[in-house]
Amino acid sequence: MSERVDERLERAFDKRTATALGKLGLTTVGDLLGHYPRRYADPGALTDIAALEVGEHVTILARVEQATVRPMRNRNGALMEVVVTDGTSRLSLTFFGKHRGSLYNHEKRLVPGAKGLFTGTVGLYRGTRQLTHPDFTLMGEESDLDSDEALLEHATKPIPIYPAAAGIPSWKVQGALRVVLDTLTDADVPDPVPDEVRQRQGLPGRAAALRSLHRPATLEEAYQARHRMRFEEAFVLQAALAQRRARTAAEDATARPPLPAGQRGILADFDASLPFALTDGQRQVGDEIAAELARPRPMHRLLQGEVGSGKTVVALRAMLQVVDVGGQAALLAPTEVLAAQHARTLRALLGPLADGGTLFGAERAGASTRVALLTGSLGAKARKEALLQAASGEAGIVVGTHALLSEQVQFADLGLVVVDEQHRFGVEQRDALRAKGRVSPHLLVMTATPIPRTVAMTVFGDLETSSLTEVPAGRAGITTVAVPAGNVRWTDRTWARVREEVDAGRRAYVVCARIHPDEENDEKNGQKPKVPAKDFDDVPEFLDPADPGAAGAADRPPLRAALEVVEELRSRPELAGIEIGVLHGQMPPDQKDAAMAAFASGAAPVLVSTTVVEVGVDVPEATAMVIFDADRFGISQLHQLRGRVGRGSDPGLCLLVSDAEPGTPAFARLEAMTQTTDGFKLANLDLELRSEGDVLGAAQSGRASSLRLLRVVKDAGLIEEARTAAADVVAASPDLTEFPELARAIRAQLDEDQEEFLERT
């Protein structure tokens, strides 16, 4: 950006205006230019008042139908009530004054027939929606629109409606932009999109696009400008990613090719011992990974697969390929329960092949390896043994939680890092593990159902992507039903169904979002339940508490707690005589193991648990799951939880208990869950409902997106075009010395957190 665009708003406006704009996070001229309209109002059409939602900060275009002023009944002062209409629906506006005279200016202006813009937060009084003390500006009068040109613009052209705040309504933002645009030249707005790219795409220059975006003559002109700015967003991000791809391609890694034909190793013995046939998808993805491991450049691959599609077997075969040629593999899991489950699963799959230790050098036999487990709660003796096995190379595969990231953990020759449920780890945690290799190890990240940020990363990122869409033969389907929490008849039937499953020799999970009934409900403040951070157990994927219909509404009942529910179920007549266990992240490891063992064996066939069972836990006899407060979770987490049942030959049943109201986003999520078990469809729906999240940062809720106009689902085609164009530009000038404005835009757009995200990919 030029010095003109970097100029702070204190110099461009008076202090009061600059302070008000600062409430919107706008401190420079560039910030203001980048504060895009959220929509455009047609001056000839009034706003659909019926669509307004309580709690929403709105700017509406409406006509005054009637206005009255009267003394207040129960206290001193006057009250002015104004009814505005869009021609069909009505909305009340309420103004308070110390006396009638203090409302004279409003009374004089807000006369029947006057049309204008009104902005405020929609409230509810005695069942009627209203705006209290809204800001407003009227057509055809001198107000903030203080020139004939401005009035004509409002009267005949599309009206940009901006994200606003108290004290700085939309039209004041528009007025500030008018001042800036009137003094801005093309030279003040450098363009990061090179001329040849712009010409090939048929795009206007940046300065022209900004003028059309903020002061369009027609709606078509505004939409063309938005298209241009969307392309710029995608192009700058893709150029940054293209640079990263080039740097990654230049890194050295140790090639880990498959053993030559005729030379048997652990991988060949493992394949020969499998009691089932790999699916076509597993074979294809396995071949892709094997080819990349054989190259002297680090693999960066995302493996996404439907719940139960066999990602673990694919990852194990990749690990064994590395072990066969003298390397080690580390598997990073988000919870102790899942890490222990992975260790047991790998040992069971390997059988006798996990009996011995890996030998390096000339003595290497290649007949077996050892699977070591390292978690934060291991005792001193077990921890010392696991550390020695990793450092000596005796353990070809080391499974663990974030405890693997400790400085004490060393590897003989780390060749492959596998990260399970990659969205549960931060950038620093992944990088800390990768740094333990002598050279850059190969990286395989896995996820069962891509959460919104993962989908966004897949579209934008430079990770190569493999997908497993097949489910192994023999798996039965899962039926999902939404259960109204307040309907006693449905609730009774829920526990009767659980009893039926148990009587048939099966198991049932009951999932709660928190542990203790006396925990303070912190959702109002956007906080997650207070739990030990050591292994990410029991952390629900809550939605933004400000989202209507989602978690956090002040009038919602508190979350059901596991320790409360387990006592309640033990007293229910439907479950009489059934042992009911409990599992949560604050339990010691031996108690967790005992609870899971009792559940798996059928000694305690009903398990009340927190989200610690969300991923990876595999009990084939589990066929039923009841999820309390299901509307408080995101789609991806609900799908992960649901994936714990129906993993054997018996059909699964998932009951989503909630008090979500029809028509709310929460109800829409639950409805989607009942209609499909396709994780890829649900991931895309989740992305559409919740937005991308902070695609280049750490947020997952979708409420702090660093994207302004670009949407990764709707604009997928445009992103592909930008990716191709950016790759050509970076190939021509890897350091972008020939494209200084693009390099400057990348530096300006990518803050420290965003750089870390790109480094991860």
Summarize pLDDT for 2-11 with one digit per residue, the tens: 667 778 887 7
What confidence category does residue 556 fall into, taking pLDDT thresholds of 50, 70 and 90?
A: low
Give the count of beta carbons closer than 10 Å to the beta carbon of residue 71.
11
Residue 677 has pLDDT above 60, yes or no: yes
φ, ψ (nearest 5 deg) of residue 97:
-145, 160
Q: Is residue 110 part of a domain?
A: yes
Specify the pTM: 0.67
Q: Is residue 58 part of a domain?
A: yes
For residues 457 and 431, the answer to whether their CB atoms sit within 8 Å is no
Distance between CA 18 and CA 317 in Å, rounded?
Answer: 60
Given this model, what pLDDT does residue 290 score? 97
Q: Is residue 236 part of a domain?
A: no
Q: Is 12 helix (H, G, I), strand (E, B) or coil?
A: helix
**493 & 409 share domain:** no
Domain extent for 177: 3-225
Given this model, what pLDDT does residue 140 score? 65
**396 & 516 share domain:** no
Residue 684 has pLDDT above 70, yes or no: yes
For residues 471 and 652, the answer to whether their CB atoms sit within 8 Å is no
What confidence category does residue 541 fall into, taking pLDDT thresholds of 50, 70 and 90?
A: very low
**604 & 492 share domain:** yes
**What residues does 301 pair with on adjacent strands?**
444, 464
Residue identified by tokens 């063309």 is 224
Distance between CA 381 and CA 72 in Å, rounded?
Answer: 77
Domain count across the chain:
3
Residues 6 or more apart whose CB falls under 8 angstroms from that of 707 comprise: 233, 692, 695
**415 & 536 share domain:** no
**530 & 624 share domain:** yes
**442 & 484 share domain:** no
Domain finish residue from 615, 643, 676: 676
Residue 695 has pLDDT above 50, yes or no: no
Residue 376 has pLDDT above 50, yes or no: yes
Q: Is residue 177 part of a domain?
A: yes
What confidence category does residue 62 fall into, taking pLDDT thresholds of 50, 70 and 90?
A: confident
Q: Is residue 723 part of a domain?
A: no
**What residues does 331 pair with on adjacent strands?**
399, 418
Look at 201-215, 261-275, 530-544, 621-635 and tell me which has the smallest mean pLDDT: 530-544
The average pLDDT across 260-287 equals: 90
Given this model, what pLDDT does residue 94 score? 93
Distance between CA 52 and CA 57 in Å, rounded?
Answer: 9
Residue 455 has pLDDT above 70, yes or no: no
**219 & 276 share domain:** no
Domain finish residue from 447, 467, 488: 447
The average pLDDT across 570-585 equals: 94
Opening angle at CA 131, ends 129 and 135, nearest 5? 160
**66 & 188 share domain:** yes
Q: Is 152 helix (H, G, I), strand (E, B) or coil?
A: helix
Given this model, what pLDDT does residue 151 score? 47
Given this model, what pLDDT does residue 546 score? 33
The domain spanning residue 659 has which CATH number?
3.40.50.300
Residue type, position 602, single letter: G
Distance between CA 340 and CA 597 in Å, rounded?
Answer: 12
**62 & 204 share domain:** yes
Residue 127 has pLDDT above 50, yes or no: yes
For residues 357 and 366, the answer to whether their CB atoms sit within 8 Å is no
Distances in Å between the Cα of 327 and the Cα atoms of 53, 254, 291, 305, 320 are 58, 9, 16, 26, 9
HEC per residue, 419-461: EECHHHCCHHHHHHHHCCCCCCCEEEEEECCCCHHHHHHHHHC
Q: Is residue 706 part of a domain?
A: no
What confidence category does residue 711 fall into, taking pLDDT thresholds of 50, 70 and 90?
A: confident
**186 & 288 share domain:** no
Given this model, what pLDDT does residue 2 score? 63
**89 & 203 share domain:** yes
The domain spanning residue 154 has which CATH number?
2.40.50.140
Opening angle at CA 328, ends 324 and 334, nearest 5? 130
Look at 34-43, 280-289, 588-597 and tell me which has the smallest mean pLDDT: 34-43
Q: Is residue 487 part of a domain?
A: yes
The average pLDDT across 685-708 equals: 55
More confident residue, 589 or 316: 316
Look at 252-256, 355-359, 484-488 and tell me which has the smallest mean pLDDT: 355-359
346-364 per-position pLDDT tens digit: 998 999 898 765 544 434 4
What is the average pLDDT score of the chain? 82
Q: Is residue 86 part of a domain?
A: yes
The average pLDDT across 549-574 equals: 77
For residues 305 and 472, the answer to whether their CB atoms sit within 8 Å is no
Domain finish residue from 613, 642, 676: 676
Distances in Å between the Cα of 142 and the Cα atoms of 139, 145, 146 are 8, 6, 5
For residues 80 and 107, the answer to whether their CB atoms sit within 8 Å is yes
**500 & 568 share domain:** yes
Residue 141 has pLDDT above 90, yes or no: no
Distance between CA 689 and CA 711 in Å, rounded?
Answer: 12
500-528 per-position pLDDT tens digit: 999 999 999 999 999 988 654 433 333 34
